[in-house]
């Protein structure tokens, strides 16, 4: 007979109970506290906790801080805090910012993020800040500097007020995602010190400067710029220069329009010596865009081109007079979502498939042609 541990061994039973709770969400795990005298506080030992304050749930700061403190004490690994309190100021417990076990931290709270003087996350790899408010350059820099092994950082529509610069200095950072769609008058510079940074995603109004201190490490970038003002165009031009070393670049038609805002901006677009994949999404791309043609001409190694939203030609007399060198040498595939234009333009668009225009090994895939509505 098996001489293993007896079924009533308290330690074995506790481990089994914790294992069962690991299959439940935080809300259901808390409900189990009424099922047994042994279970009233067992849920706080779960490694992943998600605290979301719903519209019909009343929580005060004291209770929330007790929950967070308890989660930290029980070595939480994933913590998701989504808070909307009726309080002007809210301070998270200091112990959270020196938690050694936490690996993923999501903070969604419309309050001033008041940070302690000491911040140290030795295990934190993924950090998301959403709608947080910050008024202090130094504390923000201290937060990012305290994340020594951070690999992914997402800043989702945060309020950076009275701040001159946001310094992101994390040596292991591989991915940076920024959503900046707020209508804010604040202007600041974002400085990224990331020796390991591989991908960057930006979506927003682009009213601020972005500076990457080691852009050569970047491999992938995705940019969606919203706006055609001169200020947006200026910052878009500067940002695209910072990303000129990427191998894969994803843009939107709105971003191309921003780059196309002024002839002088087009003339100063950079060379993309490493770019092998260029992709467009979210709408038709204007093939008559000067900025687009400049990017083609400046990408000698381009091998893959995807126009997922389709293409259009806005100029009546447009034609491809100067074939980009990459079309004749490296380009292997072109994928076009569909084609929008008059019958004459559609016929002209079909000429893009003529072998003389392209590398002999190139293939073009076009989903559908759409004639202009009359």
pLDDT of residue 87: 61
Residue reference for tokens 């931290």: 105
Q: Give the per-residue pLDDT at 310.
A: 83
- Worst-scoring range by mean pLDDT, 6-15, 45-54, 100-109, 315-324? 6-15
Q: What is the mean pLDDT of residues 211-229?
A: 90
Top pLDDT among 55 and 229 is at 229
When mean pLDDT is compared across 248-252, 283-287, 294-298, the lowest value belongs to 283-287
Distance CA 290, CA 278 (A): 16
- Between 372 and 83, the more confident residue is 83
CA atoms of 267 and 234, how far apart (whole Å): 13
DSSP string, 149-214: T--EEEEES-EE-S-SEEEEE-TT--EEEEEE--------EEEEE-TT--EEEEEE---SEEEES-
Say how many C-beta atoms besides its own lie within 10 A of residue 150's C-beta.
24
**Residue 4: pLDDT over 60:** no
Q: What's the mean pLDDT in 309-335? A: 84
Per DSSP, the three-state class of 369 is: strand
Instruction: Tell me what pLDDT residue 194 has.
Output: 81
How many angstroms separate the CA atoms of 313 and 102, rounded?
A: 52
**5-49 residue pLDDT tens:** 444 455 445 544 444 545 445 555 545 444 454 544 454 555 555
pLDDT class of 276 with cuts at 50, 70, 90? very high
Residue 295: pLDDT over 90: yes
Across 229-247, average pLDDT: 94
Give me the pLDDT at residue 85, please: 67
Quick one: average pLDDT of 259-284?
Answer: 93
Each residue of 341-374: pLDDT tens digit? Answer: 554 555 455 555 554 555 656 666 666 555 544 3
Mean pLDDT in residue range 120-147: 93
**323 by DSSP, 3-state: which?**
coil
Residue of higher predicted confidence among 52 and 190: 190
Percentage, residues of the chain above pLDDT 90: 46
Residue 314 has pLDDT above 90, yes or no: no
Q: What is the mean pLDDT of the chain?
A: 81
- Taking residues 90-105, report their average pLDDT: 92
pLDDT at 143: 93
Residue 291 phi, psi (nearest 5): -65, -40
Q: State mean pLDDT over 252-265.
A: 92
Residue 82 in this model has a pLDDT that exceeds 50: yes
């Amino acid at each position: 007979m098996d001489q293993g541990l007896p079924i009533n061994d308290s330690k074995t039973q506790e481990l089994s109970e914790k294992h069962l709770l690991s299959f439940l969400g935080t809300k259901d795990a808390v409900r189990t506290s009424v099922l047994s005298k042994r279970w009233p506080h067992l849920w706080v030992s779960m490694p992943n906790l998600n605290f979301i304050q719903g519209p019909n749930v009343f929580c005060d700061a004291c209770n929330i801080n007790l929950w967070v403190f308890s989660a930290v004490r029980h070595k939480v690994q994933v913590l998701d805090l989504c808070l909307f309190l009726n309080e002007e100021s809210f301070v998270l417990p200091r112990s959270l910012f020196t938690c050694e076990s936490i690996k993923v931290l999501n903070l969604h709270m419309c309050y001033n993020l008041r940070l302690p003087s000491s911040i140290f996350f030795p295990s934190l790899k993924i950090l998301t800040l959403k709608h947080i408010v910050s008024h202090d350059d130094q504390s923000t820099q201290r937060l990012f500097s305290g994340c020594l092994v951070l690999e992914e950082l997402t800043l989702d529509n945060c309020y950076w007020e009275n701040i001159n610069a946001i310094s992101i200095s994390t040596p292991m950072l591989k991915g940076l995602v920024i959503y900046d769609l707020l209508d804010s008058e604040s202007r600041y510079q974002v400085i990224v010190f990331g020796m390991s940074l591989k991908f960057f995603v930006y979506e927003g109004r682009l009213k601020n400067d972005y500076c990457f201190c080691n852009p050569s490490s970047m491999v992938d970038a995705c940019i969606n710029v919203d706006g055609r003002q001169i200020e947006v165009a200026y910052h878009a031009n500067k940002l695209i220069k910072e990303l000129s070393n990427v191998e894969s670049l994803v843009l939107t038609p709105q971003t191309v329009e921003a780059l196309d805002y002024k002839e002088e901006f087009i003339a100063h677009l950079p060379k993309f010596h490493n770019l092998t994949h260029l992709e467009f999404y979210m709408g038709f791309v204007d093939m008559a865009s000067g900025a687009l043609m400049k990017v083609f001409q400046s990408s000698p190694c381009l091998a893959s081109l995807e126009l997922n939203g389709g293409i259009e030609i806005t100029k009546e007399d447009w034609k491809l007079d100067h074939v980009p060198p990459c079309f004749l040498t490296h380009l292997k595939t072109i994928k076009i979502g569909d084609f929008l234009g008059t019958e004459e333009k559609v016929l002209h668009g079909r000429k893009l498939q003529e072998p003389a225009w392209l590398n002999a090994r190139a293939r073009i895939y076009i989903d559908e042609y759409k004639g202009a509505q009359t």
